[in-house]
Structure 1
Amino acid sequence: MSEHSSPETAQRKRLYWHSRRGMWELDLLLIPFLEHRYDGLDEDDQAAFRTLIDEEDQDLFAWLMRREWPEAPDIRRIVKMIVEYAEDADNVVHRPV
Protein backbone atom coordinates (compact mmCIF):
# COMPACT_ATOMS: atom_id res chain seq x y z
CA MET A 1 0.00 0.00 0.00
CA SER A 2 1.44 3.38 -0.94
CA GLU A 3 1.67 6.33 1.42
CA HIS A 4 -1.10 8.09 -0.51
CA SER A 5 -3.57 5.27 0.11
CA SER A 6 -2.79 4.55 3.76
CA PRO A 7 -5.65 4.49 6.28
CA GLU A 8 -4.16 7.57 7.99
CA THR A 9 -4.13 9.50 4.71
CA ALA A 10 -7.71 8.46 3.96
CA GLN A 11 -8.84 9.53 7.43
CA ARG A 12 -7.03 12.85 7.11
CA LYS A 13 -8.75 13.53 3.78
CA ARG A 14 -12.12 12.66 5.34
CA LEU A 15 -11.45 15.01 8.26
CA TYR A 16 -10.45 17.79 5.89
CA TRP A 17 -13.54 17.44 3.72
CA HIS A 18 -15.84 17.18 6.73
CA SER A 19 -14.19 20.30 8.18
CA ARG A 20 -15.16 22.23 5.04
CA ARG A 21 -18.66 23.18 6.03
CA GLY A 22 -19.71 25.68 3.41
CA MET A 23 -19.98 28.34 6.09
CA TRP A 24 -17.01 30.64 5.83
CA GLU A 25 -16.91 31.25 9.60
CA LEU A 26 -16.72 27.53 10.34
CA ASP A 27 -14.16 26.86 7.62
CA LEU A 28 -11.90 29.58 9.04
CA LEU A 29 -11.93 27.89 12.44
CA LEU A 30 -11.99 24.18 11.67
CA ILE A 31 -9.54 23.84 8.77
CA PRO A 32 -6.59 25.74 10.31
CA PHE A 33 -7.08 23.85 13.58
CA LEU A 34 -7.07 20.55 11.70
CA GLU A 35 -4.00 21.50 9.68
CA HIS A 36 -1.94 22.91 12.55
CA ARG A 37 -3.08 21.33 15.80
CA TYR A 38 -4.90 18.03 15.17
CA ASP A 39 -1.76 15.88 14.84
CA GLY A 40 -0.48 17.12 18.22
CA LEU A 41 -3.67 16.23 20.09
CA ASP A 42 -3.92 13.14 22.26
CA GLU A 43 -6.19 10.31 21.12
CA ASP A 44 -9.16 11.48 23.22
CA ASP A 45 -9.03 15.00 21.81
CA GLN A 46 -8.63 13.67 18.26
CA ALA A 47 -11.71 11.50 18.83
CA ALA A 48 -13.59 14.54 20.16
CA PHE A 49 -12.67 16.50 17.01
CA ARG A 50 -13.91 13.66 14.81
CA THR A 51 -17.16 13.60 16.76
CA LEU A 52 -17.45 17.39 16.60
CA ILE A 53 -17.27 17.60 12.82
CA ASP A 54 -20.22 15.22 12.55
CA GLU A 55 -22.43 17.75 14.35
CA GLU A 56 -24.93 20.01 12.59
CA ASP A 57 -23.66 23.34 11.23
CA GLN A 58 -26.02 25.41 13.36
CA ASP A 59 -24.70 23.73 16.52
CA LEU A 60 -21.09 24.17 15.42
CA PHE A 61 -21.74 27.82 14.64
CA ALA A 62 -23.32 28.49 18.05
CA TRP A 63 -20.49 26.73 19.86
CA LEU A 64 -17.59 28.16 17.87
CA MET A 65 -19.02 31.68 18.01
CA ARG A 66 -19.29 31.21 21.81
CA ARG A 67 -23.02 31.78 21.88
CA GLU A 68 -23.42 28.56 23.85
CA TRP A 69 -21.27 25.59 24.87
CA PRO A 70 -21.81 21.90 24.13
CA GLU A 71 -23.11 19.83 27.02
CA ALA A 72 -20.68 16.93 26.50
CA PRO A 73 -17.43 17.72 28.35
CA ASP A 74 -15.17 16.22 25.67
CA ILE A 75 -16.87 18.22 22.91
CA ARG A 76 -16.82 21.38 25.05
CA ARG A 77 -13.09 20.88 25.58
CA ILE A 78 -12.29 20.56 21.85
CA VAL A 79 -14.51 23.55 21.01
CA LYS A 80 -12.61 25.65 23.55
CA MET A 81 -9.31 24.46 22.08
CA ILE A 82 -10.44 25.50 18.59
CA VAL A 83 -11.63 28.90 19.80
CA GLU A 84 -8.40 29.49 21.75
CA TYR A 85 -6.31 28.44 18.76
CA ALA A 86 -8.21 30.86 16.52
CA GLU A 87 -7.74 33.69 19.01
CA ASP A 88 -4.00 32.98 19.30
CA ALA A 89 -3.62 32.69 15.52
CA ASP A 90 -5.54 35.95 15.09
CA ASN A 91 -3.17 37.70 17.49
CA VAL A 92 -0.15 36.44 15.57
CA VAL A 93 -1.56 37.63 12.25
CA HIS A 94 -2.48 41.08 13.54
CA ARG A 95 0.58 41.89 15.67
CA PRO A 96 2.49 44.94 14.48
CA VAL A 97 5.86 44.12 12.97
Structure 2
Amino acid sequence: MQSKKSMIQWACRRGMLELDIIINNFFKKKFDGLELSQKKFFFKMLMYDDNYLYQWLICNQIPKNKNIHKIVILIKKFSVIHETKINKRFM
Protein backbone atom coordinates (compact mmCIF):
# COMPACT_ATOMS: atom_id res chain seq x y z
CA MET A 1 0.00 0.00 0.00
CA GLN A 2 2.94 2.38 0.64
CA SER A 3 3.89 2.50 -3.06
CA LYS A 4 0.26 3.29 -3.94
CA LYS A 5 0.20 5.98 -1.28
CA SER A 6 3.39 7.48 -2.70
CA MET A 7 1.82 7.45 -6.16
CA ILE A 8 -1.28 9.21 -4.82
CA GLN A 9 0.86 11.74 -2.97
CA TRP A 10 2.73 12.50 -6.19
CA ALA A 11 -0.61 12.96 -8.01
CA CYS A 12 -1.55 15.58 -5.39
CA ARG A 13 1.08 17.89 -6.87
CA ARG A 14 -0.71 20.36 -9.11
CA GLY A 15 0.21 23.10 -11.54
CA MET A 16 -1.86 25.72 -9.71
CA LEU A 17 -0.49 26.85 -6.36
CA GLU A 18 -3.98 27.14 -4.83
CA LEU A 19 -4.81 23.55 -5.71
CA ASP A 20 -1.38 22.33 -4.64
CA ILE A 21 -1.87 23.82 -1.17
CA ILE A 22 -5.49 22.69 -0.70
CA ILE A 23 -5.02 19.13 -1.96
CA ASN A 24 -1.65 18.49 -0.32
CA ASN A 25 -2.83 19.77 3.08
CA PHE A 26 -5.86 17.49 2.87
CA PHE A 27 -3.69 14.54 1.84
CA LYS A 28 -1.18 15.06 4.65
CA LYS A 29 -3.76 15.46 7.41
CA LYS A 30 -6.77 13.39 6.33
CA PHE A 31 -5.90 10.77 3.71
CA ASP A 32 -4.94 8.01 6.16
CA GLY A 33 -8.31 8.37 7.93
CA LEU A 34 -10.38 7.93 4.77
CA GLU A 35 -12.23 4.71 4.03
CA LEU A 36 -10.84 2.62 1.17
CA SER A 37 -13.67 3.66 -1.18
CA GLN A 38 -13.02 7.33 -0.36
CA LYS A 39 -9.32 6.86 -1.09
CA LYS A 40 -10.19 5.38 -4.49
CA PHE A 41 -12.42 8.31 -5.41
CA PHE A 42 -9.85 10.79 -4.09
CA PHE A 43 -7.33 9.26 -6.49
CA LYS A 44 -9.90 9.24 -9.29
CA MET A 45 -10.53 12.95 -8.63
CA LEU A 46 -6.80 13.62 -8.96
CA MET A 47 -6.88 12.24 -12.50
CA TYR A 48 -8.95 15.23 -13.61
CA ASP A 49 -7.34 18.30 -15.13
CA ASP A 50 -6.53 21.25 -12.85
CA ASN A 51 -9.24 23.31 -14.53
CA TYR A 52 -11.91 20.90 -13.28
CA LEU A 53 -10.40 20.74 -9.79
CA TYR A 54 -10.26 24.53 -9.65
CA GLN A 55 -13.92 24.78 -10.65
CA TRP A 56 -14.93 22.20 -8.04
CA LEU A 57 -12.76 23.27 -5.12
CA ILE A 58 -12.67 27.03 -5.56
CA CYS A 59 -15.53 28.10 -7.86
CA ASN A 60 -18.15 25.85 -6.23
CA GLN A 61 -19.15 23.90 -9.33
CA ILE A 62 -20.43 20.40 -8.64
CA PRO A 63 -18.77 17.32 -10.18
CA LYS A 64 -21.14 15.04 -12.10
CA ASN A 65 -19.81 11.97 -10.26
CA LYS A 66 -21.56 11.81 -6.86
CA ASN A 67 -18.66 10.05 -5.17
CA ILE A 68 -16.14 12.60 -6.36
CA HIS A 69 -18.55 15.30 -5.21
CA LYS A 70 -18.46 13.77 -1.71
CA ILE A 71 -14.64 13.95 -1.74
CA VAL A 72 -14.78 17.57 -2.92
CA ILE A 73 -17.09 18.37 0.01
CA LEU A 74 -14.67 16.71 2.46
CA ILE A 75 -11.74 18.68 1.07
CA LYS A 76 -13.65 21.97 1.14
CA LYS A 77 -14.82 21.40 4.74
CA PHE A 78 -11.27 20.56 5.80
CA SER A 79 -9.90 23.59 3.97
CA VAL A 80 -12.34 25.96 5.68
CA ILE A 81 -11.55 24.55 9.14
CA HIS A 82 -7.81 24.46 8.44
CA GLU A 83 -7.81 28.01 7.04
CA THR A 84 -9.75 29.30 10.05
CA LYS A 85 -7.16 27.78 12.43
CA ILE A 86 -4.32 29.35 10.47
CA ASN A 87 -6.00 32.76 10.40
CA LYS A 88 -6.64 32.69 14.18
CA ARG A 89 -2.92 32.13 14.80
CA PHE A 90 -2.02 35.29 12.93
CA MET A 91 -4.67 37.56 14.44
> Please, what TM-score do these two structures have when normalized by structure 1?
0.86
SS of equivalent residue, structure 2 residue 26? helix
| Structure 1 vs Structure 2 CA RMSD | 1.3
AA aligned to 2:65 is A
| Structure 1 residues 16-95: aligned runs within 5 Å | 16-95=9-88
Displacement over 4 Å in runs of 4+:
none
Per-residue CA deviation, residues 8-62 of structure 1 (Å, 9 max, x unaligned), is: 2211111111110121011011101111101101111111101000111110110
Q: What is the number of equivalent residue pairs in this alignment?
A: 90
1:66, distance to aligned residue in structure 2 (A):
3.3
Give structure 1 stretches of 5+ with no counterpart.
Answer: 1-7
| Percent of aligned pairs sharing the same letter | 24
Structure with larger RCO (C-alpha < 8 A, sep 6+) = 2
CA–CA distance in structure 1, aligned partners of residues 85 and 4 of structure 2: 29
1:95, distance to aligned residue in structure 2 (A):
1.3
Per-residue CA deviation, residues 47-82 of structure 1 (Å, 9 max, x unaligned), is: 110100011111011001033110111000000100
AA aligned to 1:15 is I
SS of equivalent residue, structure 2 residue 60? coil
> Please, what TM-score do these two structures have when normalized by structure 2?
0.92
